Amino acid sequence: MSVNTSQVAADRDHFGARLAKAVAERGPLCVGIDPHPGLLDAWGLTRDVAGVERFARTVVDALAGQVAVLKPQSAFFERYGSRGIAVLERVILDARAAGALVLNDVKRGDIGSTMDAYAAAYLDPASPLCGDAMTASPYLGFGSLAPLLSAAIAHGNGVFVLGLTSNPEGPQVQHAVAADGRTVAQTVLDAVASADAGYLPYGPVGVVVGATVGETGHDLSRVNGPFLAPGLGAQGATADDLRAVFGDARRAVLPSVSREVLRAGPDRASLRSVAARAADDFAAVLA
């Protein structure tokens, strides 16, 4: 699938350029905002919307002025209904106001008018849920993402597409071989490369590649977008694994951590210290 990038290829405000600037200024780190019950307990907070709000706003207050990207996991807010979504709206607003880019971790995937609605919800600045980027699933066919990619380009935002994920069930689909001999994951990687053609320093369409996947034999070299690398810390991967997984593509990697940083809370100074150390460790490996 190709996307017309002529109107934005030279625009410094497109998502790839803004992400590159944020990483250069703040280091290569994405911190998840995942108020799951275990962390609420560990922080001494209640398992309700009040606890979620206290948790999320503490993370934003501690880290939004320091890290490149904050990644709220929408499901942990959605479970509390409209009041939880209201907290998420405030998290997005406050994090962006403090200078962090916000990646909405929603992993949406659908077709037609439904995907148009998701694009409007998460990529259109008119929506209170709009961040700087969102995650999406391409497994209804990469072409089903067209409304998201069009909206991202129109509004200078980004989309991170699931490619090689860190969950153990992923290879069943992602390593399956398509009719042309490529794996399903490779077809996604190649489609992302086409969508990002013409952008500098890289395009608005990124790929999620887990830091735990090891050397899979997939060709990442053509991708001209950022890689989001979850699976670090609590899921077992280390900074050194980034070199093995991404090789020469590692300079475009955005390492993503959640529990490894969030366990340092609720003390704000501890959160900042752990995040700064992680960013330094990743920068040394990704240089």
Pairing of the two strands 227-229 and 253-257: parallel
Our CA angle for 13, 15, 16, nearest 5°, is 105
Contact 67, 31 (CB under 8 A): yes
Q: List beta partners, residue 159.
A: 134, 205
- Residue 107 bears catalytic tag: yes
Among residues 21, 57, 107, 251, the one annotated as catalytic is: 107
Rounded to an integer, what distance in angstroms lies between the CA atom of residue 91 and that of residue 33? 9
Element of type H or E holding 279: helix 268-286
Contact 201, 148 (CB under 8 A): no
Contact 143, 114 (CB under 8 A): no
Q: Is 56 helix (H, G, I), strand (E, B) or coil?
A: helix
CB atoms within 10 A of CB 44: 9
Which residues are tagged catalytic? 107
